[in-house]
Chain A
Amino acid sequence: MAHAAKRFGSLRRNPYGAALIALATLVAVGCSSSTGSSSAPGTSSPGASSPGASSPGASSSAPVQSGGTLTFALDEDVAGFNPLAAGDTEFVLAEMQDQTLPRVFVVQPDLKPVLDTNVVTSASVVKNNPQTIVYQINPKAVWSDGAPINADDFIYNWQAQSGNPKFKDAGGKPFLPAATSGYSQIASVTGSNGGKTVTVVLSKPYGDWQSLFSQNNPLIPAHIAKSAGFNEGFQNFGAAAQVSGGPYEIQSYTKGEDLVEVRNPHYWGTPGALSKIVYRFILSDDQQPPAVQNGEVNMVNPVLASIPFLDSVKAIPNFTVQVQPALEFQHMDFNESNPYLALSSVRHAIAYGTNRQEMITRIVAPLSTQIGPLGNRLIMPTQPGYTATDHGAGSFDPAKAKSLLQQAGMTMGSDGYFHPNFGPEKGQDFTLSISTTSGVAVRSEIEQLFQADMKAIGLKINIQNYTANTLFGTIGPKSEFQIIEFAWVTSPFTSGNQSIYCSYTSPQCGDNWDHYADPKVDSLFSQALSTIDPAQATAIYNQVDGLLWSDMATFPLFQNPDLFGWSSNYKNIVPNTSNIGIPWNANAWGAA
């Protein structure tokens, strides 16, 4: 499952979370071995706060004081508190739950997954046929309400995300997970050794097996979810959302204002250094730099930084700013339930008419010179295996765009706009609407440039923006848009993309809001998921992406240059460009 930025999920969204995690894990780590523990030798818990922590990629070893508060400004609120449920999988939620929900593997800043030994002491593929994974749960691991973390949690989390209708949510309702990648291939999950040993048997091999119960697919407490409900029990803030299995627990949440985390007194590992982490929702980006200057906010990571934002935060003394190409990209989705957008020729026309390089020059280039028009939506240019698979479909060619619109049954009107010869807009100016999150200046700029590009090819664009909460909680999941612009935040496990691009008719494709369907894509995804060899899997994913370009299922714009900024008074802060975000090691953060 990746995240939408909705920075989600994890939109900024993170639908790719699990899948990408799995693939990239394999690709980046090169852990093609199907047996033996995948954990790197000497690895420990992610972001361990003590000097000498062995988490790879983390420079979280500086001594820090115990206590204090760090306030992190977020430009989106959450839609719910179940990171696994369709509609809740926002990137901001993943960030907030980095330190509250347990996960087996955590992708480090170098994009390599590392075992969190606080949660499981080992995770190994013990058998290839059928692929069998054994997890040894840390005997000390408990939820914050005292219930042990055990096999029941693994079993429940599998069942809820399996997509198998025989498993039911509370009240007999079907589970509505955001994604089922990997979990749908599990044949059984059994517990032994008093529930502290978990054996997972897969019906088909799963290359990204390290994405299971990991990264932005953390474990949610089974004993809570069974009674509260997977789909609805975590929709609103309450006791269910407060149960923690990590170094911190959620103390309070005020909608539209903040979420406060404090140390989890029941945590069995090294306690977090900070006594409190405050996630403050400042939905308008231009309000964040003054808040940083005033010391009200100590950390920023905007959905997409603008030049004035960068200039403002760079000018703040004693404030560290880093910009890195992230596993995150801006894109446009087309709702194919619209009779015009259902036509491939219209979608291609829109793509040909959009000058992505102009967007990058105006918006991104001042932040990072490494960014170009994106040629692949499954693997980012900063990942191994990236190949531009668009074969020209993403090139800027207004003449071809007009030609395609004419072929689609449009006639150019005297006012410079095409008039469809069919459908509900027959004889009228061809008009579509685009939506994104309000309050993000850069996204508004993308829309305005897009609007101008479309006017040039005879297509009228209306802009209708919503708060992130509304866009990712309602508009997107209910497919109440025509064109929607946002970002997916991914992980190295490419299989997590499946839920976005597999046919919407399948209940496993909760992140496909676009009514897109292509059996060939489904088949190739299925094949890639079962491919153990990372090079072969990458080749198949690139084939999938080629088909997605050919169908113009979605239109990738550019990889996000992610801006991370934090007060230099705090140490051990290491940006992570995957879909768990910068708080991946927040338990190690602290004042020098």
Chain B
Amino acid sequence: MWTYLLRRVLAGLVVLLVLSFGVFILVSLSGNPLAALQANPGISRATIAAAAAQLHLNEPLVDRYWGWLYGLLHGSFGVSYTGQPVGSQIAQRLLVTVKLVVPAVILSVLIGVVVGVISAVRQYKPVDHVSTGLAYLFFSTPVFVLGLLLKDFLAVDVNRAVGHTVLFTVGENTPGITGTWNVFVNGVQHAVLPVLTLTLVTYATWSRFQRAAMLDVLNADYIRLARAKGLSPRRVLFVHALRNALIPVVTVVAIDFAALIGGAVVTEIVFSWNGMGQYLFNGLTGAESPDVYAVSGWLIVAGTAVVVFNILADLLYGLLDPRIRNA
């Protein structure tokens, strides 16, 4: 087990290393942060040279990568083209994204699994049709539309009914709130709508995976055998069927979770949350884009999340199915 884990971690590190090199090179080559300066005849060569030196653009690409990697191995994410320390910027953004994504993923897993299982067990019954319809509705609704609808038709009505603001539509918190409990409650009030938005679009997908996996398992021979042996329907469902039907869903959840750590860009923008997604967006579209240091810093965090969650998924496979663990 430990050997397996170590092997996966080492493989993950190699993947990150290769990925970081590839992204650093590709992002660097994908655009020229000095293009606007160079295209402008009014800008002197000295100014352009100074800007190039400041951004290390006058150094060979591999040297720049090595310098960045050396800094990373020594705990520094470097400084972005806009002069901001990437590490602290990402730390702030990551915290924001985690506050959004973790509750949404937990809720999505719970709802997705329950809805998927019920749909499978009640296949082609009204409850299946309703859950399928809702899943398609949420799955096909653009995130920004859903977010705006929730703002206009949920938050406004709830707040009006209550008589004061309990559901917030802008930002991660209200400035100037003091006291741990007040800060926590305010944070929750700000998180309700974006978390709900993200949950609705995420659960919709996962419930379909869960339903399909559950149907496969329920039609398997060993389930028929279990029923024939006289096991209770509840035991067949939860111990024998669901456990196996969770395996493909675990894979999807792990991959999606890791991707969301990289940023739920649209949700963040609609609700003015300054998370990882906005950080990447700014790094790719800002004034001195592409900002290879900002993007590379983002990649390391998002890539690490992918590697870690894939390893976790592999470990979960083993827990769910001993045959995998012993293989």
Contacts and interface: CB of A to CB of B under 8 A. Distances in A.
B171 interface: yes
A466 B286 CA distance: 7
A280 interface: yes
A156 B168 CA distance: 45
Interface in A461-478: 466-467, 470-471, 473-475, 478
A257 interface: yes
Contact of A294 (B169, B176, B288): B169
Nearest to A424: B39
Interface residues of B, number: 32
A335 B167 CA distance: 46
Contact of A287 (B42, B159, B169, B176): B169
Nearest to A475: B287
Nearest to A255: B274
Interface in A249-296: 251-252, 254, 256-258, 260, 276, 278, 280, 282-284, 286-287, 290-291, 293-296
Nearest to A275: B176
Interface string A429-446: 000000000000000000
Interface string A311-339: 00000000000000000000000011111
Nearest to A317: B160
Nearest to A474: B287
B40 A338 contact: yes
Summarize B's interface: helix, strand, loop or mixed.
loop
Contacts, number: 93
B287 A296 contact: no
B287 A294 contact: no
Contacts of A278: 175-176
B288 A287 contact: no
Given A287-B169, A290-B155, A466-B287, A335 B40 contact: yes
A284 to B, nearest CB: 7
A515 B43 CA distance: 10
A338 B164 CA distance: 55
Q: Which of B170, B174, B270, B287 has the most CB of A within 10 A?
A: B170
A294 B167 contact: yes
Contacts of A474: 287-288
Given A295-B159, A337-B43, A290 B169 contact: yes
B36 A480 contact: yes
Contact of A282 (B36, B40, B170): B170
Interface size class of A (residues with CB under 8 A): 35 or more
A532 interface: no
A256 B151 CA distance: 21
B230 interface: no
Nearest to A252: B175
B216 interface: no
Contacts of A479: 40, 42-43
Interface string B152-191: 1001100100001101111110111000000000000000
A296 B40 contact: no
B41 interface: yes
A489 interface: no
A69 interface: yes
B171 A257 contact: yes
B37 interface: yes
Contacts of B174: 296
Contacts of B287: 466, 470-471, 473-475, 480
A479 B272 CA distance: 30
A297 interface: yes
A528 to B, nearest CB: 27
B170 A296 contact: yes
Q: Which of A251, A297, A337 has the most CB of B within 10 A?
A: A337
A184 to B, nearest CB: 24
A79 B156 CA distance: 33
Contacts of B252: none
Contacts of B170: 280, 282, 287, 291, 296-297
A290 B40 contact: no
Interface of B: 36-37, 40-43, 148, 151-152, 155-156, 159, 164-165, 167-172, 174-176, 269-270, 272, 274, 282, 285-288
Closest 10 CB pairs of A and B: A337-B42, A480-B36, A470-B287, A474-B287, A295-B165, A290-B151, A258-B175, A291-B170, A260-B175, A293-B156
Interface of A: 69, 251-252, 254, 256-258, 260, 276, 278, 280, 282-284, 286-287, 290-291, 293-297, 335-339, 466-467, 470-471, 473-475, 478-481, 515
18 contacts: A257-B172, A257-B272, A258-B171, A258-B175, A260-B175, A283-B272, A287-B272, A290-B151, A294-B155, A294-B159, A294-B167, A294-B169, A297-B170, A338-B41, A470-B286, A478-B36, A478-B43, A515-B42
